[in-house]
Amino acid sequence: MQYEWAEDDFELPEGVVPLGLSAPLSGKKYVMYHGTTKATAKLILKSGFQQSKDGMLGPGVYLSRDLQKASRYPIDHPESDKIVIKVLVNVGEVIAINRQRHPRQKTWHDSRYGPVFDTAWVPPNCGMVPSGLEEDCVWDPDRIKILKTINPRPVPSSGARGYQ
């Protein structure tokens, strides 16, 4: 069976900036998405997000403003067991990490290397992410408010069935 990821039309909460390809603005709130398994989603809904131990941008909570990007995770996992958590994020201070081996790629929240940032943003089509889609890493899970979960929708097969 095939699945699609879609969200019902919704109005943005007050003060929330719509999705765009531009950098998230420091101090603003954005709707973002986190793809995971149904079992992990239950844990997140119960106890909140936890920082990952490491990743492309170091420790943090990995999100995207792009539902289609989030819906790909976890990679190589059955669509029927995936779920996306829709969240509202106060991004705080944002740094753009726009290339591999950026000097702050994994140290953006470490004051020993310069200013401290709350969110690291990877722009779309900058060569950091194979999909070319944007990605965000939020240091402090308390900046993230869970709004709802989104399940994949089964797509009816397109095969025509006639009378026999």
Classified as helix, coil or strand, 85 is: strand
Banded pLDDT at 95 (limits 50, 70, 90): very high
* Higher pLDDT pick, 110 / 20: 110
CA atoms within 13 A on the CB side of 125: 2
Minimum mean pLDDT range among 7-11, 32-36, 115-119: 7-11
- Where do the H-state alpha helices sit in the chain? 38-47, 67-70
Report pTM: 0.83
User: Residues 6 or more apart from 137 whose CB is under 8 A from it?
Assistant: 55, 56, 57, 58, 60, 61, 62, 63, 119, 120
- Enter the tokens of residue 5: 């990821």
Banded pLDDT at 7 (limits 50, 70, 90): low
pLDDT per residue over 124-150, tens digit each?
999 998 889 999 999 999 999 999 999
In the chain, what percentage of residues exceed pLDDT 90? 67
Given a contact cutoff of 8 angstroms between Cβ atoms, the answer to whether 70 and 84 are in contact is yes
* pLDDT value for 1: 66
* Higher pLDDT pick, 124 / 15: 124
- Where do the H-state alpha helices sit in 48-149? 67-70
Greatest CA separation found in the chain?
74
Classified as helix, coil or strand, 152 is: coil
For strands 61-63 and 135-138, give the pairing: antiparallel
Classified as helix, coil or strand, 54 is: coil
What are the backbone angles phi and psi of residue 26, rounded to the nearest 5°?
Answer: -55, 140
Determine the Cα–Cα distance for residues 48 and 144; give it in Å rounded to an integer. 9
Banded pLDDT at 21 (limits 50, 70, 90): low
Query: Looking at residues 101-115, what average pLDDT do you find?
Result: 96
* pLDDT value for 20: 58
Mean confidence (pLDDT) of the chain: 88
pLDDT per residue over 55-94, tens digit each?
999 999 999 999 989 999 998 898 889 999 999 999 999 9
Domain spanning 26-154, CATH class: alpha beta
**Domain locations along the chain:** 26-154
